[in-house]
Structures are given as structure tokens and as C-alpha cells.
């Protein structure tokens, strides 16, 4: 059993295709196929079911692939120590962030990381929580910034900050003269939401289930009230299409100012989300996680608060 063979089976499990896995590993397909078959013979089990269109990982194969990923991470950790001595803040940190956090946090975070860890450039990816989770577990990302709850086997989390939600409405809206908005009022309005797959959409609907609206003919009205990003939704609010709920860090970015839009707090205890870092238990650069957490706290995001556990 070799590290190369372990890399091959991890690649096949990820790509679900021998040809694409071979390209990802920079080897020919026959070389990869022979190596995988050799490993299967050595272990005495089938790791993959070969189909005409796609490769499927067997049950025992999935367990072996997960263990192979851990072995490869440990091997990479040895290389990292040899290359950078014992400095965990040297070398690229692969950072993921969900779409509703990245645009507002990253511009404030990167200068502080550059100051605190100048030898640790960030390779950044924005995506849905589900995609970031899978890429984290596969080792494609080192740390991700997500919204809790987030429970995944083999993954640790660290709360960083709490962020309240705010209502954004057109400046001409009848509520613009109010000091705050009651949650129950939202159900009677055209509330612009992110599309399915965004955890922030789910959090808004948890606060106000009646924000989902439909017609007798289907969900055409609701689809018209959905946007692909918070910035798109902000533009729709400014144009007078409807109102929306945003995290306070997004409201603070004054793309539009009064009289086009106005942000109002919720009456009483405002709904909020808790933002956290997540990383694999096997990730060895824990000092990098600490620096990242400190840099986020020092990013001075408007309107957030910091839990004692941060």
C-alpha cells in the first residue's frame, strides 16, 4: 500500500469517474486503474462499483477512503513541518466562507491576516454550506466560516460572533417612519428571499414561516421574490420590489442610502445567527485557526457581538 494508491482512491471517490480522477492526479487512466485494482486485491475488498456512466463507492470503500484521507493529511502534515519548520503560520490556508458572510467579512479580514500572519496567504472559496462541508471533509479546504448549527462527524467548530438580523425596506415604504418592525408584520409583505440552498434563507423562514408566499397556480410569485445574492436582493429593495431581512453586516455596507432604502431593527429581541469556524479534527495547524479567529474579531464588523466562548 502506497500513498499514491491512497491518493488515487480518494480522487476516484471524489470524481466518481476514473478518467477525471486520473486527470486530477496527473497520471494516465491505465496507471490509476491498475493501482486501484492492485490495492483492492491487496485488501481483499471492492472499493468501487464500476458502471458505464459513473463509479459508485461501496460501503466498505467509503470507510477506507475516509481513512485514506486522514492518512494523506497526516503525511501532508509531515511535509509541512519539514518545509516550514514548526511554523504553522507559514504556507497557504485554504479558507471557505458561505455566500452571506464572505463579501462582508473578507475585505475586513484579509488586511488583518496580512499583518498577523504575513507568510500565510489565503486561498478563498465561497459556496453553500453543504458544498463547503464536503470540501472540508475531503481535505480540499482547511477551515470554513459557516453559520451554526453545524454538526459533522470529525469536524470541530468554534463560535466567533453573533449577528442580528435587520429589515431593509424601500425609503417610500409606509414603515419607513417606524422605529422598529414586529416579526408578525412580515407575513403581510412581499419579502425577498435568497433561493433554496442558502442557510440564511432557512434562518429567515424559521423566524417568519409566513414569508413564503404562493398563488393558486404554483410558486411563480415566490420565485419572483427570490434573489441569487444579498446584493441582488438589496438592489431589488432599492427599486421598490419588496422588503427583505439581512444580517447587520450586510446592511452596514451602504450601497444605497436614504431615501432609497432604510434599515430598521426588529422590535424586542432581534433574531440573529451565530457565525463559527469549522475544521477537521485531524487538521494540525491549530495556531492558524487561532490567528484566523483573532483576526475576525479584530475585523470590526458592524453590529456584531462576541460570545464568551469565542
The pLDDT value recorded for residue 33 is 93
Q: How confident is the model at residue 28 (pLDDT cuts 50, 70, 90)?
A: very high
Q: What is the pLDDT of residue 240?
A: 87
Q: Would you say 249 and 304 are in contact if contact means Cβ atoms under 8 Å apart?
A: yes
What percent of the chain is modeled with pLDDT above 70?
91
Residue-by-residue DSSP string for the chain: --HHHHHHHHHHHHHSSHHHHHHHHTS-HHHHHHHHHHHHHHHTS--EEE-SS-EEE-HHHHHHHHHHHHHHHHHHHHHHHHHHTT-TTSS-EEEEEETTTHHHHHHHHHHHHHHH-TT-PEEEEEE-HHHHHHHHHHTS-SEEEEES----TTEEEEEEEEEEEEEEEETTSGGGG-S-B-GGGGGGS-EEEEPTT-HHHHHHHHH-GGG---BTTBSHHHHHTEESSHHHHHHHHHTTS-EEEEEHHHHTS-SS-TTSEEEEEBSSS--EEEEEEEEETT---HHHHHHHHHHHHTT--TTEE--TT-
Least confident of 60-69, 89-98, 177-186, 203-212: 203-212
Residue 54 confidence (pLDDT): 82
pLDDT category at 220 given cuts 50, 70, 90 is very low
Residue 18 has pLDDT above 60, yes or no: yes
Distances (CA, A) of 112 to 106, 201, 285, 300: 10, 30, 18, 11
Please tell me whether the overall predicted TM-score, pTM, comes out greater than 0.75 for this model: no
Q: Can you give the pLDDT at residue 77?
A: 73
Q: How far apart are CA 308 and CA 55, in angstroms?
A: 47
Confidence band of 94 (pLDDT split at 50, 70, 90): very high
Band (pLDDT 50/70/90 cuts) for residue 255 is low
Q: Name the band, by pLDDT with cuts 50, 70 and 90, for residue 225.
A: low
pLDDT at 221 over 50: no
- Share the mean pLDDT of the chain: 86
Percent of the chain with pLDDT over 90: 46
Minimum mean pLDDT range among 30-34, 100-104, 156-160, 303-307 = 303-307
Least confident residue range of 75-84, 124-133, 224-233, 236-245? 75-84
pLDDT for res 309: 58
Amino acid at each position: 500500500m502506497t500513498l499514491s494508491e491512497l491518493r488515487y482512491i480518494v480522487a476516484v471517490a471524489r470524481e466518481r469517474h476514473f478518467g477525471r480522477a486520473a486527470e486530477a492526479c496527473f497520471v494516465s487512466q491505465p496507471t490509476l486503474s491498475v493501482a486501484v485494482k492492485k490495492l483492492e486485491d491487496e485488501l481483499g475488498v471492492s472499493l468501487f462499483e464500476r458502471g458505464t456512466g459513473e463509479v459508485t463507492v461501496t460501503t466498505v470503500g467509503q470507510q477506507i477512503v475516509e481513512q485514506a484521507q486522514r492518512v494523506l493529511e497526516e503525511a501532508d502534515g509531515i511535509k509541512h513541518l519539514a518545509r516550514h519548520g514548526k511554523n504553522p503560520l507559514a504556507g497557504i490556508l485554504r479558507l471557505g466562507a458561505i455566500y452571506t458572510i464572505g463579501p462582508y467579512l473578507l475585505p475586513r479580514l484579509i488586511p488583518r491576516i496580512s499583518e498577523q500572519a504575513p507568510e500565510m496567504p489565503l486561498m478563498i472559496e465561497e459556496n453553500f454550506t453543504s458544498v463547503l462541508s464536503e470540501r472540508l471533509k475531503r481535505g480540499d479546504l482547511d477551515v470554513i466560516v459557516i453559520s451554526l448549527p453545524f454538526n459533522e462527524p470529525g469536524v470541530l467548530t468554534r463560535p466567533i460572533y453573533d449577528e442580528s438580523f435587520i429589515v431593509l425596506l424601500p425609503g417610500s415604504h409606509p414603515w419607513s417612519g417606524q422605529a422598529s418592525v414586529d416579526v408578525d408584520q412580515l407575513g403581510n409583505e412581499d419579502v425577498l428571499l435568497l433561493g433554496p440552498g442558502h442557510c440564511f434563507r432557512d434562518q429567515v423562514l424559521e423566524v417568519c414561516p409566513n414569508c413564503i408566499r404562493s398563488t393558486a397556480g404554483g410558486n411563480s410569485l415566490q420565485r419572483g421574490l427570490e434573489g441569487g445574492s444579498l446584493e441582488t436582493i438589496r438592489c431589488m429593495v432599492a427599486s421598490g420590489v419588496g422588503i427583505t431581512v439581512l444580517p447587520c453586516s450586510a446592511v452596514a455596507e451602504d450601497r444605497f442610502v436614504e431615501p432609497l432604502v432604510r434599515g430598521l431593527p426588529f422590535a424586542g429581541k432581534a433574531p440573529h445567527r451565530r457565525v463559527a469556524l469549522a475544521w477537521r479534527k485531524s487538521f494540525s495547524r491549530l495556531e492558524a485557526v487561532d490567528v484566523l479567529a483573532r483576526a475576525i474579531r479584530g475585523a470590526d464588523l458592524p453590529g456584531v457581538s462576541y460570545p464568551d466562548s469565542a
